[in-house]
Amino acid sequence: MGDLLTVENLTISFRTDEGLITPVQDVSFSVQKGRTLGLVGESGSGKSVSTKAVMRLLPGSAVIAPDTRMHYTAKDGQRVEVEKLDPRSRAIRRLRGGEIGMIFQEPMASFSPVYTIGNQMIEAIRLHREPNKRQAREIAIAMLERVGLSDPATRIDQYPHEMSGGMRQRAMIALALSAGPALLIADEPTTALDVTIQAQVLDLMRELQRDLGMGMIFITHDLGVIAQIAQDVAVMYLGTIVERGPTAEVIRDPKHPYTQGLLAAIPSLDRLNARMTPVPGDIPSPTERPTGCPFHTRCVHAIAGLCSARTPREIAPEPGRAVRCWLHDEAGRSAA
């Protein structure tokens, strides 16, 4: 499996009246063809901002650091250096939708309320795949059927507000997939849904990702959801990836105290009678990022004199795993 997207040293700052704030620092990850990477962390951890940078959808006040590298391998095998693209260029418009699709927590962020679902899907299909309008409509109907909407030939002519929340979510997935992307970025797509619909949409996304052989980045604050959908996981805290690796291994043996805290907060059958133990304290604001390890203000294992003063580097405690924590960096501790 080749890398579809590789992000290296992504650092994003925003110009504000109070000066420059940097909500994402030195983030590196990769997504492989046919696999799902889960990006997990509390709100404010920088998950959405990082993926918006990949889509070049950041506002004008954003500054991407010059040593950031974002490489995407297009469907025709061409290597695209995303960080060098002009956000208004034709190349980035081709990339958005046709190569990389995106779905959000709120479907109305994708749909315009004044056009039918079909109009919007047909436009996306004609832009990226099939210029013939009749053919494009057939592809759209087939896609609505594929995501489990009953009577798709009628639904296609409905407006977004005529559908229930769960149906709209399915229609948004169909819209994102209608241009045939090789990579799908799903930003908290199930968070606003009730538990039953959430499970159905997760099943659907897992099935589509497998059947279409897409790569996927699935953003959530819920490590339990990641366990169900993602083969690989990257745990973010205050704009930094603190741990990454294959999901099954990270869940079996979490190395970072923050990952351990997130896992302890998941209710599970054998913990039904136990009290859930959420990570104590609140995530600090990016304008008040602590010195040293960003997690030291909440970490029960913090090493006095070291964690609050020195930022841990990313090390590989085992092949395929990565963690940023002094507890696992004996060589770094001795040198500090």
Of 11-19, 150-158, 178-186, 291-299: span binding ligand SF4 (CB under 6 A): 291-299
Task: Assess 41 for contact with ligand SF4 (CB under 6 A).
Answer: no
From 257, 262, 263, 322, residue interacting with ligand SF4 (rule: CB under 6 A): 257
CA 228 – CA 43 distance, rounded (Å)? 20
CA distances to 119, 127, 128, 147 from 133, in Å = 10, 11, 12, 21
Q: Which is nearer to ligand SF4, 107 or 294 (CB)?
A: 294
295 binds ligand SF4 (CB under 6 A): yes
Kindly state the DSSP code that residue 197 receives in the 8-state scheme.
H
Residue 260 is inside which H or E element, if any?
helix 257-264
Beta-carbon contacts of 37 under 8 Å, excluding residues fewer than 6 positions away, are 29, 30, 31, 215, 216, 217, 218, 230, 231, 232, 233, 234
Among 283, 303, 314, 332, binds ligand SF4 (CB under 6 A): 303
Structure tokens at 294: 């960003």
- Separation of alpha carbons 172 and 107, rounded Å: 6
Q: Which phi and psi (to 5°) does residue 102 adopt?
A: -140, 135
When asked if residue 327 is in the footprint of ligand SF4 (CB under 6 A), the reply is yes
User: How many residues bind ligand SF4, per CB under 6 A?
Assistant: 14
- In angstroms, give the least distance from the CB of 219 to ligand SF4: 22
Residue 312 sits in the site that holds ligand SF4 (CB under 6 A): yes
The DSSP string of 74-119 is -TTS-EEEGGGS-TTSHHHHHIIIIIEEEE-SSGGGTS-TTS-HHH
125 binds ligand SF4 (CB under 6 A): no
**Cα–Cα distance measured from residue 56 to residue 85, given in angstroms and rounded to the nearest whole number:** 8
| Binding test (CB under 6 A) with ligand SF4, winner from 14, 29, 111, 326 | 326
Minimum distance, C-beta of residue 161 to ligand SF4, in the bound complex (Å) = 46
Q: Does 101 bind ligand SF4 (CB under 6 A)?
A: no
8's CB contacts (< 8 A; 6+ apart) are 28, 68, 69, 70
Binding of residue 293 to ligand SF4 (CB under 6 A): yes
Pairing of strands 69-73, 3-16: antiparallel
Near ligand SF4 by CB under 6 A: residue from 35, 296, 321, 330? 296
Q: Measured from the CB of residue 249, what is the shortest distance to ligand SF4 in angstroms?
A: 19
Q: Which is nearer to ligand SF4, 1 or 304 (CB)?
A: 304
Single residue of 84, 301, 318, 336 touching ligand SF4 by CB under 6 A: 301
CB of 283 to ligand SF4, least distance (A): 14
- Interface positions with ligand SF4 (CB under 6 A): 256-257, 293, 295-296, 299, 301-303, 307, 312, 325-327
